[in-house]
Amino acid sequence: MSTGPLCASDVITALRLAPHPEGGFFSETFRASAAVDAPFGARRAASTAIYFLLRAGEFSAFHTVRSDEVWHHYLGASLELHTIDPAGQHQRVELGSELLHGERPQWVVPAGTLQAARVIGDGFTLCGCTVAPGFDFADFDMPARNVLVARFPDLRAVLESFTR
């Protein structure tokens, strides 16, 4: 590891992060031993948590999770988080420590809401994501760009920015 300021590769190594299918890097840090019956009919851990890191120039592609997800900003650059609810309402929020400029250290993405993210500026962002009922890849969906644009044609620009 370097002896200067942290860089993304330092954090990836220190926290043993692996590539995530939506983009960025992650590591699961918690999976509750208690299980619950999720509203969508599956048995899941009561809660899960991960570290999630994005580097400048990368993005987390639009995806949905079948449970509520709480984002937490830990360190690094600010993050822009985009959501699109099932009715097509788009929202952009900034996660970070500049509270007097409207950033927030935490944000909740309701179950079934499309979400995507990218770093604001240079460097990297380290966040945490807590999901309840707990995350399972069976509950993860990352629709193709053409599917999303057909569903939300008025949001073409933002959809093209956060899909591959």
Whole-number mean pLDDT of the chain?
A: 96
The answer as to whether 22 is a domain residue is: yes
Closest C-alpha to 24, from 103, 102, 77: 77
Q: What is the CATH number of the domain that holds 147?
A: 2.60.120.10
Question: Any idea of the CA torsion for 22, 122, 124, 128, to the nearest 10 degrees?
Answer: -80
Q: What is the pLDDT of residue 5?
A: 85
Region 56-70 average pLDDT: 98
Give dist(CA 95, CA 91) in Å, integer. 13
- Distances in Å between the Cα of 97 and the Cα atoms of 12, 127, 154 are 21, 12, 32
What pLDDT is stored for residue 111 in this prediction? Answer: 98
- 92 assigned to some structural domain: yes
Does 2 reside within a domain? no
Task: Write down the H helix ranges in 117-155.
Answer: 145-151
The answer to whether position 39 is within a domain reads yes
- Model pLDDT, residue 80: 98
| Residue 15's pLDDT band (cuts 50, 70, 90) | very high
**Residue 61 within any structural domain of the chain:** yes
Q: Evaluate whether residue 1 is within a structural domain.
A: no
- Split into its structural domains, the chain has a count of 1
The domain in which residue 141 lies consists of: 8-161
**Per-residue model confidence as pLDDT tens digits over 70-87:** 999 999 999 999 999 999
Q: Is the full-model pTM beyond 0.85?
A: yes
Asked if the structure places residue 3 within a domain, the reply is no
Distance in angstroms (rounded) separating the CA atoms of residues 158 and 3: 38
